[in-house]
């Protein structure tokens, strides 16, 4: 007599905008798989920006912990979040908790799951700067999660080797690429002529013969003097090159918004916007000449659109882009940023070599690989 086994359940835990972008293709694969019960829990770590992505990707969470409060520090978030996530785990009792990246939400999910002896899958595992102050606290979170997880899905071979050197069992590490490339390529396919025209009408300054610099900058370690230097560099570049326009979707963090608007808002060719939905941001990235960023995800996305990336950080855990030439690490001081951007703007050969370099972060099939590996491991 055959006794049907109960279906295993998986719980996805998301807290920030990038986590939604990077996990949505994998969530959809599990939701479409009749062999699993699939649950989505959001912590609300980045409330407004998270909600924007949930709405855009039509992703309805089963649980919303609403952890974010004004003026809350990391310790308050972590202590409150651990209890809230623990209650969800008790109710769902998942066989697998899936987390992505390096945020406080990721560490909370891995720690709570580990304490309850539940399996934990870490997407985008193994990235390292080996400087626990940069990025902070993300580098700390990643290292801790690596010693809690049972499934490690790395975006590159370098990340895989990092884990092996740290003593992680090679048999539970799979190098699959980065899921953000999956989302990016799918999004590009959905951009129709109609949507392109609609976007163009919102940015009338985009026209033939001009070069667009797309900027994002929001990391904690850049706050203060370093961020002021970034803004001063943008002003100097805009003055030095009459043929460039700069667009900067400004993060909602008050420490970013206040300084950015105070220093940049009056320049006639620097355009500050609120955070954009993902489709519009991808379209702008495709229309840009080059990208200046401190974002990890954009370092992975822009090369698939043949856009050079100048990384405004002193270290990066995505060294593969530097190594193959899709990215340059330019620091956060004004002089270094200006010099590096000028080199790329003034050298067609350097620009071409960066634009043509192959994206080292995957081919758009990472989510399918992860889904199949988890299936094979859990449905034995």
Q: Which of 218, 219, 313, 371 is catalytic?
A: 218
Q: Reduced to 3 states, what is the DSSP secondary structure of residue 281?
A: helix
Distance CA 110, CA 99 (A): 7
DSSP 271: E
- Residue 333: active-site member: no
CB 314 within 8 A of CB 332: yes
- Residue 218: active-site member: yes
Can the peptide bond before residue 137 be classed as cis, meaning omega within 30 degrees of 0? yes
- Residue 261: active-site member: no
Q: Which of 17, 19, 124, 219 is catalytic?
A: 124
Q: Which two tokens stand for residue 149?
A: 């997880």
**Owner of token pair 């992975």:** 300
Q: Which of 251, 313, 318, 371 is catalytic?
A: 251
Distance CA 64, CA 17 (A): 14
Burial of 193 (0-12, 13-18, 19+ CB in 10 A): exposed
Q: Which of 220, 257, 267, 279 is catalytic?
A: 220
Distance CA 75, CA 68 (A): 12
Q: Which of 102, 221, 294, 317 is catalytic?
A: 102
Q: Reduced to 3 states, what is the DSSP secondary structure of residue 129?
A: coil
- Residue 320: active-site member: no
**Length of the chain as a residue count:** 380
Q: What distance lies between CA 255 and its chain's CA centroid?
A: 20
- Residues designated catalytic: 102, 124, 138, 218, 220, 251
């Amino acid at each position: 007599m055959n006794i049907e086994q109960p279906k295993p359940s998986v719980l996805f835990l998301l807290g920030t905008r990038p986590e939604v972008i990077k996990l949505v293709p994998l969530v959809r694969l599990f939701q479409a798989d009749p062999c699993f019960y699939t649950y989505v829990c959001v912590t609300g770590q980045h409330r407004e920006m998270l909600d924007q992505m949930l709405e855009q990707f039509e992703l309805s969470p089963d649980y919303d912990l609403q952890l974010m409060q004004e003026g809350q520090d990391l310790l308050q978030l972590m202590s409150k979040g651990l209890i809230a996530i623990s209650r969800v785990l008790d109710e769902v009792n998942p066989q697998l908790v899936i987390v992505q990246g390096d945020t406080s939400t990721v560490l909370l999910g891995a720690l709570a799951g580990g304490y309850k002896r539940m399996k934990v899958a870490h997407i985008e595992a193994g990235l390292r700067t080996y400087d626990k102050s940069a990025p902070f606290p993300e580098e700390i979170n990643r290292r801790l999660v690596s010693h809690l997880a049972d499934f490690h899905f790395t975006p590159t071979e370098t990340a895989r080797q990092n884990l092996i050197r740290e003593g992680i069992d090679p048999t539970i590490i799979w190098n699959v690429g980065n899921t953000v490339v999956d989302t990016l390529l799918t999004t590009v396919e959905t951009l129709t002529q109609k949507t392109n025209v609609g976007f163009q009408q919102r940015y009338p300054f985009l026209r033939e013969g001009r070069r667009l610099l797309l900027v994002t900058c929001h990391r904690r370690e850049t706050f203060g003097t370093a961020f002021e230097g970034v803004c001063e560099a943008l002003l100097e570049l805009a003055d030095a090159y009459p043929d460039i326009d700069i667009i900067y979707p400004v993060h909602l963090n008050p420490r970013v918004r206040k300084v950015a608007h105070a220093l940049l808002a009056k320049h006639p060719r620097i355009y500050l916007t609120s955070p954009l939905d993902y489709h519009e941001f991808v379209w702008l990235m495709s229309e840009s000449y080059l990208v200046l960023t401190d974002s990890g995800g954009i370092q992975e996305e822009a090369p698939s659109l043949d856009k050079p990336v100048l990384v405004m950080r002193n270290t990066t855990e995505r060294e593969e882009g530097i190594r193959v030439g899709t990215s340059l690490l330019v620091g956060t001081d004004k002089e270094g940023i200006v010099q590096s951007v000028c080199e790329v703007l003034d050298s067609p050969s350097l620009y071409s070599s960066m634009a043509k370099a192959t994206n080292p972060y995957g081919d758009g099939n990472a989510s399918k690989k992860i889904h199949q590996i988890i299936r094979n491991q859990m449905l034995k």
